[in-house]
Amino acid sequence: MRKSNLLRRNASHLVVFQSLLQTGNVTATASELHMSQPAVSRALAHLREMFSDPLFVRAPGGVAPTERAKQLAERVSDVVDDLADLMSDEAFDLASSERTFRIATTDYGAGTVILDICDAFSKQAPKANLELVSFTQDVFRDLAEGRIDLVLYVDAPTPESLFSEFLFQESYSCLCRRGHPVTQCLDGERVRLEEFLAWPHALITVFGGRFGLIDDALKKRGMERHIAMRLPYFSTAPLLIAESDMLLTLPTRTARHFASIADLECVKTPLEIPCFDYLQVWHRRTDPDPAMTWLRQLIKTQSGKSLPA
């Protein structure tokens, strides 16, 4: 498009496009943007002409984006956010900011990284808010389209449009109820392999897997354990362990935290399991944002401070 053609376009309609992507509903977009439904419909008509595509079609519960709209989503979000930054004369003030920061994470990230920053966050930005959302398969699309601000993630490939920063390296430990027989015959601080295999196990499967890294290590030795329970929650699993003879292999930070607040014991696994790096991930669009820079720095400096000895 020639620059002169921009004079005939209304760039504010891109805000409607971005909102419809997020809400999937004309009524919800009208409410979010404080517009009437007819005004949203007129903006959508203008957008359809602008991009020569229907962009959104009727779907159960509202509207769904076309393939063309999906292709435009990230670029439109970049433009809208850049324009908002350009026209904003508000400096980020920690003491008065009422900003809501949306972070996608599992309950592992909530119980480690978010736990570490809670006190400092509330003291430094007393009017700001943290909103944690579930980690889903669409998390990077949500990040690109501005629905979330930050992702807490393991060291795995991410799209090129995203930036990441190392927070800490995590190992694995074994959690069991206090007084469990396995703690009476340790090899130093490590559970003996024969004892480890003699008891039933629980497995946390956040992403639906059937086996864990400890099972891979056992398989290399021609061994396997009995997994008596599979569940998707870090926070619930220790409660079940405390009331049974099951053993639970999980990240060390989580294991030590639960052992410090519940009637549980944390010991080393019988086999070495590869460690993993934990990262914070954000979109390049928010990299210069002063508020996000503050939050990322807070997370970086606070991560690991509450790790029990």
Higher pLDDT, 83 or 132: 132
Identify the CATH number of the domain defined by range 100-170+276-302: 3.40.190.10
Confidence class of residue 7 from pLDDT cuts 50, 70 and 90?
A: very low
What average pLDDT does this structure show over 267-286?
Answer: 91
Q: Taking 50 as the threshold, does the pLDDT of residue 107 lie above it?
A: yes
DSSP β-ladder status, 201-204 and 247-251: parallel
Identify the pLDDT of residue 86. 59
pLDDT digits (tens, 9 = 90+) for 181-216: 999 888 888 999 999 999 999 999 876 678 888 999
Percentages helix, strand, coil for the chain (3-state, rounded to 5) are 45, 20, 35
Confidence class of residue 4 from pLDDT cuts 50, 70 and 90?
A: very low
Indicate whether this model's pTM tops 0.85: no
pLDDT digits (tens, 9 = 90+) for 226-251: 999 999 888 888 889 999 999 999 99
Identify the pLDDT of residue 244. 94
Q: Taking 70 as the threshold, does the pLDDT of residue 178 lie above it?
A: yes
Domains 100-170+276-302 and 172-268 share a fold: yes
| 161-200 residues labelled b (16+ CB within 10 A) or e (exposed) | ebeeeebbebebbbbbbeebebbeeeeeebbeeebbbebe
Q: Where are the domains of the chain?
A: 3-87, 100-170+276-302, 172-268
Pick the CATH number of 3-87 from 3.30.1330.10, 1.10.8.50, 3.90.1150.30, 1.10.10.10: 1.10.10.10
Identify the CATH number of the domain defined by range 172-268: 3.40.190.10
What average pLDDT does this structure show over 18-33?
Answer: 88
